[in-house]
Amino acid sequence: MHRTKVRIVEDALDANNTIARANRDDFDRHGVTVVNFMSAPGAGKTTLLERTIADLDGVRAGVLEGDVEGSMDADRLSALHVPVVQLNTASGFGGECHLDANMVRSALAALPLEEIDLLVIENVGNLVCPAEFRVGEDLRVMVSAVTEGEDKPLKYPLMFRACDLVIVNKIDLLPHLDISVERLLANVEAVHPGVPTMLVSARTGEGIDAWRDWLVNATNRAAAPA
Ligand SMILES: Nc1nc2c(ncn2[C@@H]2O[C@H](COP(=O)(O)OP(=O)(O)OP(=O)(O)O)[C@@H](O)[C@H]2O)c(=O)[nH]1
Ligand SMILES: [Mg+2]
């Protein structure tokens, strides 16, 4: 019984990876770098995009917004006049707590891939499931807000391990918290040795230039001839 369950999960992940590869082929054909942007609900993903996405040093960016319901985040980003497509998992996808490759594939026709160099996929806010489903991305970034506590890397290691960059956000709130950033960073290092980290505040703008540079460099590196 237990073995059957494991088998089904493995089959589902295999199927997801096959569709993720097809997405990746489409992104590659259009020369689009894709970042899968993940975090717990409310860590600051949309705010970090609001701060950067319309001002990327010539890199033309678009956003695929994943939410269970609603278009609040997509509306916020549309105000910046970048192409934004909303994907609701409650509409035909069972209200899933993550995006998968098939959902992203269903949105491809609505995305102006020929007009952008970078696509940021803001995943559904969740610290567990999004890390298990590749969607055809080149890179994965997660945000960990200091308000979540310093133990999260130890409790949700898969998410921290799956990422190419960990952004520690809301550092403006540190004076009001008893969290130790040093311990948080040590816990990140313990579960994912060597992963780059960035300390930022989407509220004050501290560290935002480094985040913007990371997005620009990631796009340009992917576009450079091998
Ligand atoms: N103090 C402070 N608040 C922040 C910062 N970044 C985001 N916030 C606030 O945190 C709340 C959630 O931010 P969002 O950007 O919507 O977070 P999100 O990760 O996109 O949320 P979901 O898409 O719902 O998962 C908002 O009220 C933001 O204004 C920050 O650096 N400092
Ligand atoms: Mg958001």
**Cross-strand partners of 65:** 86, 122
What is the number of the ligand closest to the CA of 74?
A: 2
43 lines ligand 1 (CB under 6 A): yes
| Predicted pLDDT at 10 | 73
What are the φ/ψ torsions at residue 192 (nearest 5 degrees)? -140, 80
Closest ligand 1 atom to Cα of 200: 31
Distance 26 CA to ligand 1 centre (A): 31
The gap from C-alpha 154 to its chain's centroid, in whole angstroms, comes to: 20
Say how many C-beta atoms besides its own lie within 10 A of residue 61's C-beta. 26
- Is residue 151 within 8 Å of 187, Cβ to Cβ? yes
Residue 217 has pLDDT above 80, yes or no: yes
Rounded to the nearest 10 degrees, the angle between the axes of helix 45-52 and helix 208-223 is: 70
Residue 2 has pLDDT above 90, yes or no: no
- Is residue 36 within 8 Å of 130, Cβ to Cβ? yes
pLDDT, tens only, 133-177: 999 999 999 999 999 999 999 999 999 999 999 999 999 999 999
Torsion angle in degrees (nearest 10) through CA of 182, 188, 219, 66 = -110
- 225 Cβ partners below 8 Å, 6+ apart? none
pLDDT interval class at 22 (50, 70, 90): very high
pLDDT, tens only, 191-208: 999 999 999 999 999 999
- Is residue 54 within 8 Å of 81, Cβ to Cβ? yes
| Predicted pLDDT at 63 | 97
Rounded to the nearest 5 percent, the helix, strand and coil shares of the chain are: 45, 15, 35
Distance 42 CA to ligand 1 centre (A): 5
Residue 6 has pLDDT above 80, yes or no: no
User: Model pTM?
Assistant: 0.94
- Using only C-alpha atoms, the chain has a radius of gyration, in whole angstroms, of 17
Q: Which one-letter amino acid corresponds to residue 86?
A: Q
Residue 116 has pLDDT above 60, yes or no: yes
Residue 4 has pLDDT above 90, yes or no: no
Q: Which one-letter amino acid corresponds to residue 115?
A: E
125 lines ligand 1 (CB under 6 A): yes
